[in-house]
Amino acid sequence: MARWVLSECGVKPLPRIYPQPSRNRFASKTFMVSEIGPPLLTSKAHVLRSSLGLSTSCKGKSWALNVSTPVRVASVDEDNERERVDGVNGVDDEGGFDPAAAPPFRLADIRAAIPKHCWVKDPWRSMSYVVRDVVVVFGLAAVAAYFNNWVVWPLYWFAQGTMFWALFVLGHDCGHGSFSNDPKLNSVVGHILHSSILVPYHGWRISHRTHHQNHGHVENDESWHPLSEKIYRSLDKATKTLRFTLPFPMLAYPVYLWSRSPGKKGSHFDPNSDLFVPSERNDIITSTACWTAMLALLGCLSVVMGPLQILKLYGIPYLLFVMWLDVVTYLHHHGHDDKLPWYRGEEWSYLRGGLTTLDRDYGWINNIHHDIGTHVIHHLFPQIPHYHLIEATEATKPVLGKYYREPEKSWPLPFHLLGVLVKSMRKDHFVSDSGDIVYYQADPDLS
């Protein structure tokens, strides 16, 4: 039923018409991690390896696999990129701004504008956010269980679903290595936080790394990437309607964990999935075991407390968390008034793909969910801690110029984003099967 309603695989099996990106994790055209990391002297290379959990040793477990920072990412050669952008400068043939044009700056120029202290990860400060969120989660549950009436429950569901989302963001930071410089600490905290909300830590961390390495690429992106026209046309009318009718698309995340996105195959729980390389097998087994243990714990609590009580305390907040995750992730890549490009082939680069992401303002929720709405700089430099993202963004605006799109200011609660979401669902349906720079097109039958 979920496969039909959410159409992650469609009523009819979706054809897999695109080759999967290479699982060697590194493309043939790359730049080194220093291009996306903090500016360091060559003589300090050992510090860089330490900060990312890398090791030159071949013995023992490579903790580099537990850091979801794009260590090396596909890009055009830096000199060629500079050559191309110097003559373009984001201007179209009519003299206006063209968001699809190669920018007149490099990733290194953006990085250089970020204050050095913004790269510093403070594990004590990171853990303080974990303690804060966990205390709030248990406090909310205790208050709701104590009053146990239908005036309190709806307020609890919204608040607790939002807090589950906050826990997810902290676990997400662990996966990026922005939580601390200690990969073991990142892994332990990430497993606890993500498993508590039924997310397989390593499985999702690795697929999310793929998303960051391929953001803005039509075929290779991993999160809310466009359907090609061929795949879209192959869907029947009911599937198309449900895929773009709220709230169904905003409940897609659990299905995505099991079966990925249309046109792709694999599961975040299967160590033999195409998502992973053989060296990641033990990581996936560990995360799946933790996920299973949490599911078993919920089953035991249902026996002790009753299934209805667990549904109220955990089940409904979990669904609200899923909606938060899908809405926020979707709006970071969709819904701008000016259509934003998606790329293929030689037109795509790590920088150009990252510049198609969007910042969003969530009002009071900004602080609760750890400023994840400050998303452009996070996408380009995912190793920056969340508590430095706002300062880093402000510092880079003069470099980014019109390539940075200032988010619409929110009321205390971000109700304005519901209109943005509905509007995008009505017009962002598919992209052309051909062309290296493409834009979303609308199906008149759904618009």
Task: Using DSSP, state whether 441 is helix, strand or coil.
Answer: strand
The confidence band for 17, taking pLDDT boundaries of 50, 70 and 90, is very low
31-87 pLDDT per residue, tens: 434 445 665 433 333 333 333 333 333 334 443 334 455 444 444 334 344 434 433
Distance CA 144, CA 204 (A): 31
Q: What is the number of H-type helices and E-type strands within the chain? A: 19, 4
Contact between 217 and 353 under an 8 Å Cβ cutoff? The reply is yes
Task: Using DSSP, state whether 431 is helix, strand or coil.
Answer: strand
Q: What is the DSSP letter of 22?
A: P
Residue 10 has pLDDT above 90, yes or no: no
385-413 pLDDT per residue, tens: 999 999 999 999 999 999 999 999 999 99
Contact between 27 and 74 under an 8 Å Cβ cutoff? The reply is yes
One-letter amino acid at 186 equals: N
Q: 94: how many CB neighbours lie within 10 A of its CB?
A: 6
Phi and psi at residue 139, to the nearest 5° = -65, -45
Distance CA 446, CA 56 (A): 54
